[in-house]
Amino acid sequence: MIHPHRFKDQVMVVTGAAQGIGRGVALAAAGEGAQLVLADRSALVNEVAQEAAALGAQVVVAEVDLETFAGARSMVAQALECYGRIDILVNNVGGTIWAKPFQEYDEEQIEAEIRRSLFPTLWACRAVLPAMIEQRAGAIVNVSSIATRGIYRIPYSAAKGGVNALTASLALEHAQHGIRVNAVATGGTEAPPRKVPRNPQALSEQEQLWYAGIVEQTRSSSLMKRYGTIDEQVGAILFLASSEASYITGTVLPVGGGDQG
């Protein structure tokens, strides 16, 4: 924790908050005084809400499917009903489902990857904008990835490239409304095993080899030759969300040990 009161009296919406980086953002922000809306389609988000409340935060849980605009609108409506405003939106939903060469993906898998890693950010930004425009203030931090230049997950890479373009264009369009929009391009990140796996099917021997290729490429592309930690990603996300970054917008910050993506 850098500043115990950095987000005092600010309303922060965190998507994908049930585990991983989203959980890390939620708990760190709770410790720094934020009032929280934690969104996820997994009921596990309620456990994170309890952890955040134990740190003294006021917390609202939105169990929604952010692959749909209806889910994003419901999340924003719950936030506004409780707090009357939204100061910060952290878009964290996403993550590759399959690991294999592009020619091995079928049509349904490609569409599923785009729905998973682009649409939740797109929908959440669209849903929150009217409130931020009306209050003429707000900060959006999108979680992207250095995998925009990577192997064996091309649909995911394309989705995160879309997140980067969305970030730049929204920043240009809405700076006039006092809204800052930035992204953190996360590198490989060490995390506990997912409680809800993105792909529940066991990997075949060939798929394990392809996934090992991703790990090797990620480490070799990092100048530091390692994966990062959740805390290292959270620190960058919360910096861009905070007033310390008040003159930064339209930026994609790579946090990948020197890999620029």
Taking residues 223-240, what's their average pLDDT? 96
Which tokens in the block code for residue 246? 């008040």
Number of alpha carbons in the 13 Å side-chain half-sphere of residue 252: 23
> Average pLDDT in the 204-225 region?
90
pLDDT of residue 211: 85
Rank 172-181, 184-193, 209-218 by mean pLDDT and report only the highest.
Answer: 172-181
Q: 229 near 159, Cβ under 8 Å?
A: no
More confident call, 232 vs 199: 232
Q: Give the confidence band of 2 by pLDDT, cuts at 50, 70, 90.
A: low
Confidence of residue 261 (pLDDT cuts 50, 70, 90): confident
The token pair at 67 is 């692959």
Token reading at 174: 């809405």
What is the average per-residue pLDDT within 7-34?
97
If you average pLDDT over every residue of the chain, what do you get? 95
**Is residue 97 over pLDDT 80?**
yes
How far apart are alpha carbons 254 and 147 in whole angstroms?
Answer: 10
Spell out the domains of the chain, with CATH numbers in brackets. Answer: 11-255 (3.40.50.720)
Active site residues: 156
Range name among 41-50, 118-127, 187-196 with the lowest pLDDT average: 187-196
Q: Whole-model pTM above 0.85?
A: yes
